[in-house]
Each structure stands twice: as C-alpha cells, then as structure tokens.
Amino acid sequence: MKKIELYDTTLRDGMQGIEINFTLTDKIKIAHKLDEMKFDYIEGGFPLANKKEASFFTHMNKEKLSHAKIVAFGSTKKPGIAADKDNHLNALLQAEVEHIMIVGKTWKGHVERVLGTSPEENLEMIHDSIAYLKKQGRTVLFDLEHFFDGFKDDSEYAIKVLQTASDAGAKTLVLCDTNGGVLPSEVIKILKELPTDKLAPLGVHFHNDCGTAVANSILALDYGAIQIQGTINGWGERCGNANLCAIAPNICLKTDYDASISSEISRITSLSRYVYEIGNIIPEKRQPYVGEAAFSHKAGQHADVINKAPDLMEHIDSKLVGNSRKILLSELSGKSTIVNKLAKYGEFDKGSTEVQNLIDVLKGKEEEGYEYEAAEASFDILIRKTIKKYEPIIELNNYHLESYKTGDTPSKTVGRIFMQSMGKNVLGAAVSVGPVDTLDKALRDALTPHYPFLKKISLIDYKVRILNPESASAAKVRVFITTTDHKIEWDTVGVSENIVEASWEALIDSIDYYYNTYVLDEN
C-alpha cells in the first residue's frame, strides 16, 4: 500500500480564517493533540511574523513529540539578495527545526506583477533558497503557490519551477491551489501531464472556494501525490482549506492507501471538537464524519431501517470515527423512533401506554412550537416526566428581573430567584448585562453550594427564533440553549410569548438534564 503523509497547517493557514485566533498556549495544546493522532507534519507558522509565532518554535523545541515533525513556514529569498543575507530564510533557520516549508511563485503573473522580477530570477530565487537551507542541514519542502493557475497560464514555466525545486533538493513538491478555483477534472488533467518520474514526490494543498478541496485532495492520491495538506475542520482563509477531518477518514476507511493516523482514526471526532473548543467556535453540526448531524436520522422510515439494519442507512459505523448515531424527534417520527428513545429506561413495545402517551405529548408540544430534533436534552426531560423518572433540581416560587440604564453607560439587569431545593427555601441573586445571563448567574448563586457540578457546566450558545412574526411584539418565540461541561454538549428548548420565560424554560432544562443524567443516574 502506498504510504500517505498528512500535513496539518491549522496553526498557520487555519489561523487565517475568519474569527480564528489561537494563543501560544492554544497552539502548543493543539500541536500535542495532532501528534497524539499521528499526523506526520505540523506547520507551526512563520517565525518572522511576530513574537508569538517565534515563541511557538522555542517552546516546541523543548517539548517531546512521539510522531509528528514540526515545520516552520516561510518564503523564498527576495529578489536581488543573496540567500545567506535574506532575513526570511535566516529566521527559518533560527527556529531551529529540522523541517522547513518555503513557498515560491509558480504563476508568471505573480512573478512579474507582485514580486516585480523576471521569470528567470524567480527560478534562481527558488533554487538558491532551497539549496541554502539544505546546506544548513534542513529538510526542505517546497510549496508551489498558485501552481494550478500558473500551469493553466504557462504549463512549460510551471514545470520548470517544479524541476528547479526538485533539482535543488526539495524533499516534497506541494502543488497549491491558492485561489481555490480548480475543479476535480482539471486536477486530473494537470497531474497527468507532469513528468513525475523526474521530480521529487508530490504533495497537494487545496483551498475550498469551489467546495471541492476534499475531492481534489483524494483524487490527487490516485495521480501520484503522496502528501495531503489541510486543516482541522477545514478552517482557513476565505472558504477554508481541505478538511483533514473528512480527508483522514476517507483515506483510512474508504481507500487502500496507508496513513499513520489509521490507528487513531476513532478519535477524529474528539479532535475536531477539541479544536472547536480551543478556538471558541461553535461546532459545525453538518460536517461529514465528525459533525453532530453526520449520523442523525429524522424520518420515521429511515429510523425504522436503522433499528433493523443500520448498515443499510449509514455509509460507515459512526463508532469508527468516534461519533454516535442520533434519532431525531419530530412530527415525522414513527413509533419505532419513540421505542428506541425509551429503550434506555426499560422495555417498551409499540402498543404500550407509555409510547402512546409520549407520542401524544410530543405532537401537542410541537403544535405549541417546540422542536426537539435540535433539543434532545429537553426531549429526554419530556420522556422522564412522562414515565415518572424525573427529579427536578428546584421548584420555582418566583423570580424578579429589573433592567436599568443611566446615561451612556451599558444597561444592567438585576435578578432575584426564590425557590425550593432539597426541601429548603433558597435565594439567588445576580447582576449582569442581559436577563438570561442574570437568571443563569442567580441560579448558580443559589445552587452551587449544594450542587458543585454547576461549576463544570456553562452556556455556549443561545438562539432565538420568532414563530409568528405577524403578531409583531406579541409574537411567540422559541429559544435554544447549548450547554457544555467541556466534554459533551447538550441542547434544550423553551417556547413562550415572553422571551424571558422561554429562556428560563430552556435554561432549567439544561441543568435538569445534566443533574438527572450525569449526577443522579451515575450515583
């Protein structure tokens, strides 16, 4: 089997994506996770960019990795400057890592209009830069920026760039689709025209502007490439990079190629969510393989097949990538889905009173505006209430919220909650910006001394949807809340004409769910 190298550039190219920023500590943590997953290369960034980027290499040189190689990224020398005098190249050497990725121009338009030099000098810059780094004992990988656009513009020159880098001693020649505009058919056509027998091994780096980065990457393996570059969750500039969380499972589970990550592929979902957590980004639910919806089923007929023969409805077993199957609840659900949801609480057949009661409750709730396919934790509470296996954490007496604003200062909300818990009257109070956060903090103020688990959980997402906009300010709203203990996430829902009441319902469901499922049940 052909051995495939996976090269991760989340810590450099991924950070160029919108809303993505890592601290130095974040980068070090992610690097260790990637190493544990047996990615072959981890690109750490450009040492000359800023102090944080340079510090990453200083720290990683002291860290012990079991598999991955840390790579410093930079560009070829500037025109008219000797390689040994170029600040960029010397900064790469000062990173004191064995492997260096340098990027050079392939497209004549960039050579002439961006670099402001001749095609001939560009070839000299590429050769001298690689040769200089090689002479200093480094292993050099060469990134051919805008390779596919350059090849379409002048294929002869693009091949000269390849040959120059290969002759200078580059270990791998990475064909980069920098603009993300190449289609799979073009990838095949271009790779077929390359004199691969005369060149160093090929790698590929696709951006996702046409939505084909993963397909292009997998196709390239069949036409000579031995290395794929990409990022976790497909993060990166504009529409992102090739998504390694899709590429890795595709290689390991769908092809005959060999990759070091194969032994760890069951942890790819965990890795994806870990990087989302570090980046403080809400996970994309519809992501292939690792998304929450990747193995979700909604229609009653589909769910029925899943219960009988899941291999007929799913392209792989979700456990192979560390994900899990979800049967979604809605008006499309059949009795088989309800029975499946009840299974963890005992044996119930389709004709049981419990199943019929739950169906009736579900339909009634959905008529009121509740939607449980995106709020399974609230549905779990609904099940527990229906079969009498529910223990509320509190009984609410009342809550009071007051908002005030003075001059140009931001508004504040003062909240007090009066309730019963553990047979005692308890009071919570808080001041915050908005009513939902105030309620959350007041609850915690009252309950945390008695329920320490509340310190572990926090709200990470809050969504509001208006259900009947024609009613204007009197419209009914549906609120979704996502909560996490930083290992798992769960979703709850509330519905009311009063946005505070809907929020309270979703909020208390989120706490009740964790209390019943992970505190009471496990004890």
CA dihedral in degrees (320, 321, 322, 324; nearest 10)? Answer: -80
Beta bridge partners of 390: none
| CA Rg value for the chain | 28
pLDDT higher than 60, residue 510: yes
The better pLDDT of the pair 336, 319 is held by: 319
Distance CA(48)–CA(72), nearest Å, equals 10
pLDDT, position 303: 61
Q: Kindly write down the DSSP assignment for every residue of 403-435, as one continuous string.
A: EE--TTSPPEEEEEEEEEETTEEEEEEEEESSH
Task: Report residue 450: phi and psi, to 5°.
Answer: -100, -25
Beta bridge partners of 490: 483
> Of 438, 420, 440, which Cα lies nearest the Cα of 483?
440
> All domains of the chain, ordered by start, with CATH?
3-279 (3.20.20.70), 296-367 (no CATH), 394-450 (3.30.160.270)
Task: Report residue 75: phi and psi, to 5°.
Answer: -115, 170
Q: Kindly write down the DSSP assignment for every residue of 14-50, as one continuous string.
A: GGGSTT----HHHHHHHHHHHHHTT-SEEEEE-TTT-
Once rounded to an integer, what is the mean pLDDT over residues 342-363? 81
pLDDT, position 454: 95
Mean pLDDT over the full length of the chain = 91
pLDDT higher than 50, residue 332: no
249 near 291, Cβ under 8 Å? no
> Of 133, 200, 211, which Cα lies nearest the Cα of 177?
211
Which residue type is seen at 394?
A: I
CA 409 to mean position of chain CA atoms: 37
Percent of the chain with pLDDT over 70: 95
Distance CA(43)–CA(27), nearest Å, equals 11
pLDDT, position 347: 78
Among the residue ranges 50-64, 65-79, 108-122, 287-301, the one predicted with the least confidence is 287-301
235 near 223, Cβ under 8 Å? no
Beta bridge partners of 458: 484
* Alpha-carbon separation of residue 134 from 76, 124, 140, 366 (angstroms): 13, 15, 7, 67
